[in-house]
Every structure is written in structure tokens, then in C-alpha cells.
Amino acid sequence: MPPAGTDREGGNLEYSGAPMRSASPSSSPSARAGCFLGLLLVAASVACSDGGLGIAGPESGGLVFICQQGGNADLMRARVSDGSVARITRTPEREEQWPYWSSLAARVVFQVRPYGPSMMADLRLWDPLNGEETALTQTPRRDERWPAWSPSAPELAYVFKNLRGPSGIALYSLETKRTQVVAESTPREPFVRPVYAPDGRRLVAERRTRDRHRLLWLLEPGRPPRPLTEGRDQIDGKANFARDGASLVFTRLPPPNAPGDLVRLELATREETAVASLPDAYDHSGKPSPVRDELAFVSDRDGSWDIFLVDLPDGVPRNLTRTPDLQEGAPLWSPDGERLAILRFPRRPPAASEDRGEVRTDPETARIAVIDRSGRVVFETRGAMADWMPAWP
């Protein structure tokens, strides 16, 4: 199973908490989707450290992430240049997840959920200038998840689910304080994981089919949602736009017993091409660079989950990590395209009942690392669910 850290849904196809072990992707479409999209929310049991490993040099910037201490998941902040780590929240009554920073909004949005049997989540905003936290909207009977910031305005998209009433994807403007629904859905065919195009005018989201597979849909305000991919037995997800917005790269899990592949989709023609494909290799989580025609992705082609870098459209993949004793995943480019934040944890031998699609790991050993384009580690600390944001002075 791919390592955790890029997916925001939890351990299954519904809005629920994450299990420590997902089912094999070869057992059923539902199980494969849980493996692909849930993966292990390791942050829920990670013990925070007071500081990280930092290497002085030209690297700069910071991270916001989730870490657990004493059974409580809180927001943390790190400065890459010297390894400093600072706590943002201390909330024993709730669990924080999936923080995302926006320079245009000058805010971090994150997901909160009370500890206990309730699975309802809400979105909160944190202002690093004054340290204030505010609610995005007051919706006590509505579940809100999967926030995504617009690259062109102080606006974000998110998935909402009402206990009684419509569900779908909404846009919220911090300037006007208004909410606009761009796509409605049903409990059996929900939208998840919206991602903006570079110009901020379109979104792509995954949508579950009635037989529990997934396809990609194009969402544009003022127009009905349109499917981008089609099929009956695959799971298409983890879509990310190329920097020019003309194409996107996504992960496709084909029928059972076949490994995942990266696919590049040209939006104008709907033409699909495989990216860096290798027979029997399981590739996933492609992240196009924000400044170059290249792609970071995760693959097991060298025997363990490593981070690879490949020039587009048809370069030769280069292993950046090559760590046989570690599993790595969740590559996330820095805004300048010079570094990658990744998730890593020790590799463990598979149990007798496991196959290639399953990974067991001790969540307390999960760490966030920052590597440069050569694969050199320039920062490392305990935690997960990292996003880039400016470092404090």
C-alpha cells in the first residue's frame, strides 16, 4: 500500500477516522480505494519533538504540520533553516488535521474533529500574524473536509456533507464572506479532494461511482460538472495540474492484481499517456513541479517506497532517496521548486497474510523530511500532513 500523507479522507471511502491498517487493494474495489485513498493517517499517534534536524545553508522557508503529543494531535510549525519547531495549538478536546497555507489569504486552514464518537469535522482558520483562530463557517450539523486554497484569490474550496440535505463542493471567499456551491452530490456518489488549476478558474475533483470506483470530474463555477475520465473498474485519483494548467497528472489503480500507474491527461483533447511507466512497478502520488517540466512521484521499482524525479514528458526517472530501510511518500514541492517535503517511516517486513498492496508501520516513527533536488536531507522532524508556509523571523 502506498505510504500515507497525501490523502485527506481518512481510512475508507466515507468520512471517518483512519485505521492503522488498510485492506489489500486486490480484494475488492472498495478495499482498493481504501488502500489508495486512506493509506494511514500516521499523525494521529506521532509523538512531537521539541526540535528537528536542520542544516544551515541557502534553504529557507517553513512548514505547518500535525503532530501528536500525549495522545493529542495539534498544529505545529517548523523553520527549515535551523530546525526550530514551535507549537501552534494545544487542544486536548479535539484533533487537528490537514493544515494548508495560503499566501493570498495569509491564513492556514485546517480540519478539526472532537475526540469521541462524533465524526463530524469543521474547518478553522489560523492567522500567524496575531495568532487568532476563527471558524470558517458556523455549521454544527454539517461535515466539512478537504480544504483547498485558490492560487489566484483569498478563496478556498471544500467538501461538505449535511446530515439532512444536500452535499457537494463549495467555494468560500474570505473577502466577501460568501459561500457558493459549485457541485452538488449524493451520499452514494460524493465528490472528494478538490484541487485548483493554476489560474484558479477551474477545479478537478474525484467522484465515487455507485460501484465504489472513482473518476475525475472538472468543476467550473456557472457550469455543470463534467467527467474527465471514464471506466467501470479503475480508481482515478490524486490529480494535480501541471504548471501551465493544460494537463494534469493522476494515479490510476486498474483492475485487481495490477499495480498503480501515473497518467498524464491533456485537458483539451482528453488524451491519456502513461508517465514513467515500468512493468510491475507501483507508481503513485505524482506532483508536477511549480517551476519546471518535471514530476516528483512515489514508486516501489527499486524494492521499497522511494521518491523519484523525472523530466516531462519522457525523461528517465531518478531515485532521490534510495533508502531500503525506509518507506517514503507524500512528495510536496516548495513554492520555489527547489525542495520537497516528504513523509518517511521505517520499513517493516510484511506479515505472512500481507501482499504487496499492504504496509504495516508503527505510527510513532513517522517523520517529515525536507530534501533538496539531489535528495539531500536538509530538515527532519516527527510529524505528518505537512504544507509549506513562510518561516517566522
Q: Does the pLDDT at position 136 exceed 60? A: yes
The pLDDT of residue 165: 72
- Which burial class, exposed, middle or buried, applies to 9 when counting CB atoms under 10 A from its CB (0-12, 13-18, 19+)? buried
Return mean pLDDT, the chain. 81
The pLDDT of residue 77: 96
Lowest mean pLDDT among 12-16, 65-69, 255-259: 12-16
Cβ–Cβ < 8 Å for 343, 46: no
Q: Give the highest mean pLDDT range of 46-50, 56-60, 295-299, 366-370.
A: 295-299
Q: Does the pLDDT at position 131 exceed 50? A: yes
Report d(CA 285, CA 227) in Å as an integer: 21
How would residue 114 be classed by pLDDT, with cut points 50, 70 and 90?
A: confident
Report d(CA 164, CA 93) in Å as an integer: 26
Report d(CA 148, CA 93) in Å as an integer: 25
Q: Does the pLDDT at position 1 exceed 60? A: no
Cβ–Cβ < 8 Å for 17, 10: yes
Q: What is the DSSP letter of 153?
A: S
Report d(CA 392, CA 79) in Å as an integer: 7
Phi, psi of 47 (to 5 degrees): -85, 130
Lowest mean pLDDT among 4-8, 20-24, 329-333: 20-24
Q: Does the pLDDT at position 132 exceed 60? A: yes
Share of the chain above pLDDT 70, in %: 78
Q: Give the highest mean pLDDT range of 164-168, 300-304, 351-355.
A: 300-304
Report d(CA 384, CA 245) in Å as an integer: 28
Partners of 284 in beta bridges: 298
The pLDDT of residue 78: 96
Work out whether strand 226-227 and strand 214-219 pair parallel, antiparallel, or are unpaired.
antiparallel
Q: Does the pLDDT at position 49 exceed 80? A: no
Average pLDDT over residues 173-179: 94
Q: What global pTM score does this model have?
A: 0.84
Report d(CA 44, CA 17) in Å as an integer: 10
The pLDDT of residue 206: 96
Q: Does the pLDDT at position 163 exceed 90? A: no
What tens digit of pLDDT does each residue of 310-343 get?
999 889 999 999 999 899 999 999 999 999 999 9
The pLDDT of residue 141: 75
How would residue 115 be classed by pLDDT, with cut points 50, 70 and 90?
A: confident
To which CATH superfamily is domain 29-389 assigned?
Answer: TolB, C-terminal domain (2.120.10.30)
How would residue 17 be classed by pLDDT, with cut points 50, 70 and 90?
A: very low
